[in-house]
Structure 1
Amino acid sequence: MLITIIAGAFVLGVVILVHEFGHFIVAKVSGVFVKTFSVGFGKKLLKKRFGDTQYALSALPFGGYVKFAGEVDESTDDAPAEEPPSGEVPDREISPEKYFRNKRVLIKSAVIVAGPLMNFVLAIFIYTGIYNFQGIRVIPTTTIGHVIPDSPADSCGLQVWDEILAIDGKQVANWGEVNDAILEDWDSAKRFEVLRGGEKIDIGFKGKVKDNRISLGFLPHIPAKIGQVKRDAPAYKAGMRTGAIIEAINDTSITSYYEIEDVIHPRPGIPLVIQWSFDGEAHVDTVVPEAKKILKEGSKTELRIVGQIGVGPYYERKQVGFLKAVQMGSTAAYRMTAEILSFLKLLFTGKAGLDSLGGPILITQMAGDMARWGFNYLLYFLAFFSINLCIFNLLPFLPFDGGHLVLFLYEGAAQRRVNRRVREILTQVGFALIILLMTFVVIMDISRCAGTSPGLF
């Protein structure tokens, strides 16, 4: 529980603080008078004024806020007001030309967009750091370990244990080269030269697009060697650690990681006798898989319950240069953004239900879950959540940043400000919808914890 709380506070705190820092730094550069920049919310525990701005450390360490001079109804944040605002410069002592509301539309828009943009930059920074310091996964084989039924690979006759020797006459030495050869002009038919039972076979192959994804239907052979072990999971409690090799489950011989999944996934809550070895020492333990919800194969929204013992496959890693890491980090952030936008499309078109959403409880649970896998997994989740915050903040509804941006752009086009009463009504409606949505997702979070359905709709 403590790990979950700390991980949740870390994720929420970092993404919100980075978001507010984006507003803060662009406002400063643009000549907006920043009255307060606070780390955390609530009562100010420590505060110190440097120059024009009061910097504060507040009681609740979940992010922070920025307070501008002359915000009125055009605030980018709903910062908690203090009576009196001790240590802050009162508006009457500030030149009106430094008021946020009196700045040009371009400046106000830049200040607004800077928050979500910083969240996107944070994701790129995290992905780049992971690639730069940990390198990339390398699968030093071209042997097929799993073929998905009714997939393009299954249809063309590829089989488990086929070794891919060449694609369109070009030899491949590892799985990365297999992927590169397929994705290059991916929508054209390919010729695979494979080795099966000592005999070379020529097979025609063509992938297809499903739900905006390229579907191939086959995966590499990965040995039954454990790469990651989730803290406090059944495998961890049994003593398994990184480098352990699973040799048999219920007397069924295991030769690849996919066979581990094939045996464990259908058996949540059912005791399994696992034979495994570590550092040359043999072990036999009875392990009970936990019931977990994961996405159905090929689906972005449908879930299924499977058994899991908390292990992940082992991968070798290859170091890459900094510029390559930046390129890969940017690509990873772009792809994650595309995935989230694709999900939003499903949500708004009714193809995904509101029960697919999660609130602060689920976010905290997921952060704790990732932390138990390891700090690098928590960083991946931090990047994912930061992109989520970026996208949702750009939705064109008040009080999101996107809603303020739409109003500023309207003001620029119409050359007049939006009526204050209209702005208040739009903000109140927006807040009401957010409260309604948050109430729903919190109920969903609680129902997930209790393992029940809320039965609201």
Structure 2
Amino acid sequence: MNWLYIIEVVVGFGFLIAIHEAGHFMAARRAGIACPVFSVGFPLPRFLTKLLFLPDRWRNIVVFKKGGTEYRIGWIPFGGFVQMKGQNDDRTVELEENAGSRDDFRNVSFGNKALVICGGVIMNAITGIVFFVIAFMVFGVTFIDPVVGNVVGADPSTGKPTQAWLDNRIQAGDRIKAVNGKEVVDFEDVLYISIFDGTTPRMTFVKPDGTTYEADVPLYHEQRVNLDIPPLRASAAVLIADEEAKRSGGKLQARDVLKAINSVPVNSYEAIEYLLGQTPPGQTVKLTIERGSSDSKQTIEVDYEPHRLPFNDESGYVAGMAFVTPPVVGAVRNNSPAMKAGLQAGDHIRAVKLMTGEAIPGAESDGWRAVSSPAEVRRLLGMAGKFGLNVRFERPGMTREVVLTPEASNEAGGRYVANMTFMPAQEAWKHVGKPDSAGKLVVADVIAGSVAAKAGIVPGMTVTDVPGISAEQKVPSGFFGFLGLSSETKTLTIEQRLMLSVAERSIEGGKKWNEPLTLQIKTSEGEVKNVSIVPDVKSAESTAYMLLDAKELRSEPIHYGFLDSIGQGFYHSHKKMHQILQTLGGLFTGDVSITHLGGPVLIAKRSYDLADYGIGTLLFFLGFISINLAVVNLLPIPVLDGGLLLVTIIEKLKGSPLNERAMGYVNLAAFVAIIGLMLFVVFNDIRHLWG
């Protein structure tokens, strides 16, 4: 943890709130309003000074009086406050009776009242622009490179492939130049324009060779954020997580950037997962890592033996078993190896043969190996690699044999892919005319040397029960589910119970780590018996893994001259205001959920992360927060500046003040609502970070 970054964040964030109050203070002094107190920061709570036996004057660092105002610098650097005669933010205390004095806020002109009320907003807006200008002119600003890291394959809400994946035109490494004709310099621009323009985004891309093309990019529903977004992910660097560094025995450090495994470059978690999955038990891998900041960066190589899990959920096999599900092609990506081979949606793959001529375990004498599950096809494609497979498939009215030659994935280094999907089990069984077979766990294949094979499980057996795990399971639900405060009961299928049991035994250090798994099995002869599967990190089904984090790839710092920096300051201020208003509007229309709001915890976390990219990038982010404070404070909500401005306008039109007691109750209710929203947002921050 870099304490300098933390100090930068605390001071910067506190300054933005203090400058807001300074805006009110300066406007009030200009209007001749008495200001008994102006404080930068907050004093220590009185109970704390008493507990520490400190005199009351030690509640603040500095206190001095000048021109009728007591100036303070408090120990708590989060903001500040100004006391004005005739105005009171403490709604539990009534204001003194209006004596008609000119230095009372209630007695100044409408124009001066409006100026005082808007003083904080004006100062935040000016500060945002100034921060943007300084960031570009002095330090330089980095942005999230609008470069495609990968195209999302499936839409979780439907289970269907995304249109962008099917079209196969957008590739990893392509740079997004514009969205709907609007130039973008930041991946966040891509998201905002796509979400709020209300049309299917049309994007302009530039390939690494300089070729430019345009493509429509239909949105898909991302359940994790509950938004319709483009099915594109920005390029990201993969970092060593703190936990992995701690258990590496000093070989790795937290935030090391993983660049290659066994000399194969990696730029995604999928690539790392694949390469680690090829590592046999007891074997080390050569990690190429980048360590240090931009001014002290070094590349080193480390021989490292990763930890292992007893089961590999990503293989499509469960504890070494694949279950019978007709391998019916669901979709074929455009211009893919599967399309070039002549495969299309609805084709039922029945058998495969290695192009190398090598025998596949379980194959017939002619080399053909019958397959009865998508997992088998994927595994055999992995075995074939770049050499490919002969594929025999059925299509209504015909049986064909084709050559399927996978291509190297540009998203997962070292992996060869056919770029086709398979129908979900229920849909596949319906397609082959056996809908009643869906849900039955008939073993199709068992990996030699896996824990299932060691337990005596063979193809043809059926898993009929998972003793020891109830079909009725309580699962977290609702907003506070991650805290264990709300849950619902779900009835799980046998397959779901099996997957849950395997997952529980795949959490290293978890309660059921290394605990045997009991399955009820029915043999092909009809005998029912229990078998025990013992997790084994050295089995053929085990897989190597590492604990990793992701880090967005940002551009090199962008600098501008004096005049251009001023132009960029106003441009980005306008753009950020527009984005904030779009987000606020989305909250009212339902396009944006309240759960997307971030509060002080996420702001502090984001500030700390961005400080790693230099003072300019942190300053730019703080400028955005300052603009955010300006816009939000102008909302016509009691307690906020916009609410007070609305009351002032109403009083001007009415010709007399509103009832102070009634307004006190309104403000108190609004204050309670704002506090409730703040607590909600803090819980939301915690849920995002640790949920």
Query: What TM-score do the two structures reach when normalised by structure 1?
Result: 0.66
In the aligned structure 2, how far is the partner of 1:7 from the partner of 1:156?
A: 44
Q: State the partner residue of 2:73.
A: 57
How do 1:86-101 and structure 2 match up within 5 A?
Answer: 96-101=101-106
- What residue number does 2:594 align with? 354
Distance 1:101 1:326 in 2: 38
Q: Report the CA distance shift for 1:233/1:351 in structure 2 as closer, same or farther (over 3 A).
A: farther
Distance 1:104 1:179, change over 3 A: same
User: Is the CA contact 2:38–2:72 (under 8 Å) kept in the aligned structure 1?
Assistant: yes
Q: Give the corresponding residue for 1:304.
A: none
Contact 1:146/1:160 (CA < 8 Å) preserved in 2?
A: yes
Unaligned runs of 5+ in 2: 44-58, 154-161, 184-192, 194-198, 222-228, 291-297, 308-546
Aligned to 1:401: 641
Q: Which residue of 2 aligns with 1:120?
A: 125
Match of 2:135 among 130, 133, 137: 130
CA contact (8 A) 1:358 1:441 kept: yes
Residue 271 of structure 2, aligned match among 250, 263, 270: 263
d(CA) in 1 for partners of 2:552, 2:208: 28
Cα distance in 1 for partners of 2:581, 2:272 equals 33
Map of 2:31 onto structure 1: 30
Deviates most, 229-238 or 406-415: 229-238
Question: Quick check: 1:274–1:287 contact (8 Å CA) kept in 2?
Answer: no
1:120 is paired with a residue of what secondary structure? helix
1:233–1:310 CA contact under 8 A, matched in 2: no
- Structure 2 distance, partners of 1:318, 1:449, is 30
Structure 2 CA distance for partners of 1:38 and 1:132, relative to 1, 3 Å: same
1:144-223 counterparts in 2 under 5 A? 155=167, 157=169, 159=171, 179=178, 183=182, 205=215
Q: 1:276 aligns with which of 250, 269, 288?
A: 288
Matches for 1:245-256 after TM superposition, within 5 Å: 246-248=259-261, 251=262, 253-254=264-265
2:116: which partner in 1?
A: 111
CA–CA separation in structure 2 for the residues paired with 1:311 and 1:190:
24
1:132–1:322 Cα contact (<8 Å) kept: yes
Deviations 1:272-311 (A, max 9, x none): 95632665653445789xxxxxxxxxxxxxxxxxx85354
Matched AA of 1:347 = L
RMSD over aligned Cα atoms: 5.2
Q: 1:118 to 1:229 in 2, by over 3 A?
A: farther
Task: Indicate the structure with greater helix content.
Answer: 1
Structure 2 match to 1:15: 16
Where does residue 412 of structure 1 map in the other structure? 652
Based on CA coordinates, which of the two structures has the bigger radius of gyration? 2
C-alpha distance in structure 2 between counterparts of 1:49 and 1:311, whole Å: 49
Match of 1:336 in 2: 576
1:309 aligned counterpart, secondary structure: strand
CA positional deviation for 1:148: 6.5
SS in 1 for 2:637: coil
SS in 1 for 2:651: helix
- Displacement after TM superposition at 1:13 (Å): 1.3
**Aligned letter for 2:287?**
Q
AA of the residue aligned to 1:432: V
The amino acid that maps onto 2:268 is I
Distance in 1 between residues matched to 2:119 and 2:206, nearest whole Å = 51
Alpha carbons of structure 1 residues 106 and 233: separation in structure 2 relative to 1, 3 Å:
farther
User: Aligned partner of 1:423: which letter?
Assistant: M
How far apart are 1:16 and its partner, in Å? 1.1
Q: Which runs of 5+ in 1 are unaligned?
A: 82-89, 163-174, 289-306, 452-457
Q: Which amino acid aligns with 2:102?
A: E
The reply on whether 1:102 has 2:107 as its aligned counterpart is yes
How many residues align? The count is 392
Equivalent pair of 1:287/1:309 in contact (CA under 8 Å): no
- Residue 38 of structure 1 deviates from its aligned partner by 1.0
Query: Following the alignment from structure 2 to structure 1, what is the Cα–Cα distance between the partners of residues 597 and 148?
Result: 36
Q: 2:42 touches 2:78 (CA, 8 Å); kept in 1?
A: yes
The letter for the 2-side match of 1:120 is A
Distance in structure 2 (CA, Å) of the matches to 1:204 and 1:448: 35
Percent identity for Structure 1 against Structure 2: 27
